[in-house]
């Protein structure tokens, strides 16, 4: 009996020595996950999945801390933050887990465009502010504008995007009259001045309030409301226009710089691109002043009054040309090729309209040195043109059209804005046979600044190429 009781006592002692309270405490494991609120992108809920811990210390990476097990923290602004969780067990042993979280504003793109409430943009006054070219890789090849005093009023215009979808254009009292007058210039921005060259009222282009829609994933902006525009009033969704549109769509991208943001506006067409650069300054001291007066450009060439001007295109021999010669330009001509109609006839010139170039022409200038040509001794100009019968004319491609004209290149940067020219179109363009075209020089003789003659075949605004033939450019 006594032995049995002693064994029972030992059994009880053994059981007590192996109790749970005497088991070693396991080291803690720290870990967490988090979830960003859909209603407030700055609010983050932390879910604690640590093990073997009884207390917790959080550092949210922005200077704030917490000892809650599953805290909810609201950051002041978007950014990257290193969150550190320290989990501690009952023996005061700790484990640390950290993770960098990226708090992004889901409306960041909208904020870049329209600010917290609104944001005003003006044409960038450094380098090229706008241009037109064959592609986004060469957006200024055909023409570009800088803050050089030639169009100061465009640099005062303000384009404001409000956060609530409102779009405001402020003309600042001035408008550039391209499409309104024969010689564009800055004019007073009043309704009575806003009549285009076709006599149509285009006053909807003046300052006003419209709406806009923005799709950040594609970068597309659509301005909504009659007359809403950006860049140039004539630049619209599907191409250039002469009257206000009800909506205009384009692509944007925005770069952040110290003290200002730079917005690139892109209109992309089949034939090329228009691009515009706008700046919005958080530090106004960085924005250059608008140049009010254009510096003199080019030079006034010496005048010549020749007794003869001609090129037969049969060859470059001295007896086949006088006074003028071709110069490098968009289109080209090869002298001395076989006549496409009569192989036994005198040689002619093969005119090549270069494929892939939207606006182009063959140019002639006085040779051997450029001069301002006075056409006092001539009444008409003539040229023979042969357009092959298999030439294809189509919408968006070659047009049954050509232009012959005169311009000032030496003192006019944008010579195409003030030429004296003749246009021939439709049935007046003879196809499948040689035809002599004659042009009255009365208006040409009134000018003293002309130093370039040009011939463009096939129309502009497209990239279609073509081959034609020319001979006997003669002034009589």
Lowest average pLDDT, out of 36-45, 117-126, 397-406, goes to 36-45
Q: What is the pLDDT of residue 22?
A: 63
Q: How far is it, in rounded angstroms, from Cα 269 to Cα 406?
A: 29
Q: Does residue 12 register a pLDDT over 80?
A: no
Q: What are the tens digits of pLDDT across the range 246-277? A: 999 999 999 999 999 999 999 999 889 999 99
Hey, where are the domains in the chain?
A: 23-103, 108-286, 303-475
Q: What are the tens digits of pLDDT across the range 431-444? A: 999 999 999 999 99
Question: Token digits for 472?
Answer: 């006997």
Q: What is the pLDDT of residue 360?
A: 86
Q: What is the pLDDT of residue 141?
A: 87
pTM across the whole model? 0.56
Domain 23-103 fold: Immunoglobulin-like (2.60.40)
Q: What is the pLDDT of residue 16?
A: 43
Q: What are the tens digits of pLDDT across the range 277-335? A: 999 999 999 999 999 987 677 889 999 999 999 999 999 999 999 999 999 888 999 99
Q: What is the pLDDT of residue 21?
A: 55
Mean local confidence (pLDDT), 169-176: 97
Lowest average pLDDT, out of 15-19, 404-408, 446-450, goes to 15-19
Q: Does residue 15 register a pLDDT over 60?
A: no
Q: What is the pLDDT of residue 220?
A: 95
Mean local confidence (pLDDT), 33-37: 93
| Fold matches, 23-103 and 303-475 | no
The sign of the dihedral angle between the CA atoms of 455, 459, 460, 466 is negative
Q: How far is it, in rounded angstroms, from Cα 155 to Cα 172?
A: 10
Cβ partners under 8 Å of residue 329, min gap 6: 360, 361, 362, 363, 454
Q: Does residue 106 register a pLDDT over 60?
A: yes
The pLDDT-based confidence of 4 (bands split at 50, 70, 90) is very low
**CATH architecture of the region 303-475:** Sandwich (2.60)
Q: What is the mean pLDDT of the chain?
A: 92
Mean local confidence (pLDDT), 55-69: 97
| Residue 275: CB atoms within 10 Å | 23
Q: Does residue 20 register a pLDDT over 80?
A: no
Q: What are the tens digits of pLDDT across the range 203-260? A: 999 999 999 999 887 899 999 999 999 999 999 999 999 999 999 999 999 999 999 9
Going by their DSSP bridges, the two strands 118-123 and 420-425 should be labelled as unpaired
Radius of gyration, CA atoms only, the chain:
37
| Residue corresponding to tokens 């046979």 | 433
Q: What is the pLDDT of residue 408?
A: 95
Q: What are the tens digits of pLDDT across the range 132-163? A: 998 999 999 889 999 999 999 999 999 999 99
């Amino acid at each position: 009996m006594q032995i049995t009781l002693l064994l029972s006592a030992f059994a009880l002692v053994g059981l007590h020595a192996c109790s749970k309270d005497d088991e070693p405490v396991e080291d803690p494991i720290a870990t967490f996950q988090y979830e960003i609120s859909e209603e407030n992108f700055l609010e983050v809920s932390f879910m604690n999945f640590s093990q073997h811990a009884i207390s917790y210390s959080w550092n949210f990476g922005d200077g704030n801390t917490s000892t809650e097990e599953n805290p909810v923290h609201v950051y002041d602004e978007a950014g990257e933050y290193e969150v550190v969780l320290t989990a501690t067990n009952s023996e005061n042993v700790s484990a640390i887990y950290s993770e960098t979280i990226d708090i992004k504003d889901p409306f960041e793109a909208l904020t870049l465009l329209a600010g917290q409430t609104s944001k005003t943009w003006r044409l960038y006054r450094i380098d090229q502010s706008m241009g037109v070219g064959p592609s986004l890789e060469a957006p200024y090849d055909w023409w570009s504008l800088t803050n050089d005093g030639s169009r100061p009023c465009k640099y005062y215009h303000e384009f404001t995007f409000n956060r609530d979808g409102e779009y405001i254009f402020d003309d600042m009292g001035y408008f550039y009259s391209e499409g309104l007058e024969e010689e564009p210039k800055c004019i007073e921005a009043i309704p009575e001045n806003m009549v285009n060259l076709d006599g149509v009222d285009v006053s909807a282009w003046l300052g006003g309030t419209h709406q806009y829609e923005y799709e950040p994933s594609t970068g597309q902006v659509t301005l909504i409301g009659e007359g809403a525009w950006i860049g140039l009033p004539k630049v619209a969704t599907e191409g250039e226009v002469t009257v206000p549109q009800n909506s205009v769509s384009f692509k944007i991208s925005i770069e952040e710089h110290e003290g200002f943001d730079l917005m690139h506006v892109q209109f992309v067409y089949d034939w090329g691109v228009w691009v515009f650069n706008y700046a919005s300054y958080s530090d106004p001291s960085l924005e250059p002043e608008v140049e009010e007066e254009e510096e003199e450009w080019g030079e006034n060439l010496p005048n010549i009054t020749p007794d003869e001007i001609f090129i037969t295109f049969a060859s470059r021999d001295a007896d086949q040309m006088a006074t003028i010669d071709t110069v490098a330009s968009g289109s080209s001509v090869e002298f001395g090729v076989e006549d496409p109609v009569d192989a036994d006839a005198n040689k002619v010139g093969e005119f090549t309209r270069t494929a892939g170039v939207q606006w182009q022409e063959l140019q002639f200038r006085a040779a051997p040195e450029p001069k301002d040509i006075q056409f006092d001794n001539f009444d008409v100009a003539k040229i023979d043109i042969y357009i092959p019968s298999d030439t294809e004319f189509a919408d968006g491609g070659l047009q049954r059209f050509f232009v012959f004209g005169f311009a000032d290149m030496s003192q006019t940067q944008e010579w195409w804005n003030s030429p004296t020219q003749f246009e021939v179109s439709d049935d007046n363009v003879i196809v499948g046979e040689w035809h002599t075209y004659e042009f009255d020089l009365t208006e040409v003789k009134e000018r003293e600044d002309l130093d370039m003659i040009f011939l463009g075949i096939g129309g502009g605004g497209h990239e279609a190429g073509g081959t034609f033939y020319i001979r006997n450019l003669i002034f009589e």
